[in-house]
Amino acid sequence: MGVLDRFRLDGKIALVTGGARGLGWEIALSLAEAGARVAVTSRDPETARAAGQKLLKITGQNCIGLACEVSDPRSVEEAVTQVRQKLGPVQILINNAGINIRGRIQNLSLEQFRSVMDTNVTGVWLMCRAAARDMLEGRWGRVVNVGSILSSVGLEERTPYTSAKGAVIQMTRTLALEWASSGITVNCLCPGPFGTEMNRPLMGDREKYAAFVSKIPMRRFGNLEEIGPAVVFLASEASSFVTGSALYVDGGWTAQ
């Protein structure tokens, strides 16, 4: 197998949560372009369906969209079952779905904190548990949990988000150890600032945007198409000896 062949995903079945837009969409598109059959999820059934059809039209791969609430155990199990029935056993899991609620701790409610943790942490745990059956039976799997630069650095007005993303790295490391002898790798992708819908409030505030960019050695936000190749690496045979790691795609922010 040549070096470039090790990045191919032909015939692999991938599930991307939150894959209908933003970084999730770019990730799903990259996996499909590399040869995978991809299922994307969204809370909204129509949004999910449209994303699956768009992937099929662009790449020619058998791709589908499914409604899923990642913090709901029943919804997660149903989504994984549908992938198994329509595409095949899940081999690649990208836990991308996430939310962010900003504000100083004294201005946030417990319900807001819990909602971030439910989606960003519990959702990852539930998805990993649901996909484990297929990967363990097949003795092969790739799990990529999407963390953040805020998995390892702090930032004002982000206590729910930083707490959640820090937990994602620890979950990644622990699952990597649990599954190391089972042919399954588990890694964490940690993006820096990208021009996504989640970051629109920040991008619309000139002062805060300038403060963010000043922290990035490359002096810019990431372009959406710059995230996909990193995920293809972690999802493919090219990363077969990489597990329990965090890959930062952040323009140098965390190098400081």
Catalytic machinery residues: 161
Q: Which of 97, 118, 138, 119 is nearest to 13 (CA)?
A: 138
Which contiguous run of DSSP H or E holds residue 170? helix 159-179
- Rounded to an integer, what distance in angstroms lies between the CA atom of residue 253 and that of residue 191? 10
Edge to edge, the sheet with strand 184-191 lists 64-67, 37-42, 13-16, 92-95, 141-146, 184-191, 246-249
Angle at 239 between CA 234 and CA 242, to 5 degrees: 95
Torsion of Cα atoms, 146 then 25 then 15 then 154, to 10°: 10
Strand, coil or helix: 1: coil
- Contact assessment for residue 183 and residue 201, using Cβ atoms and an 8 Å cutoff: no
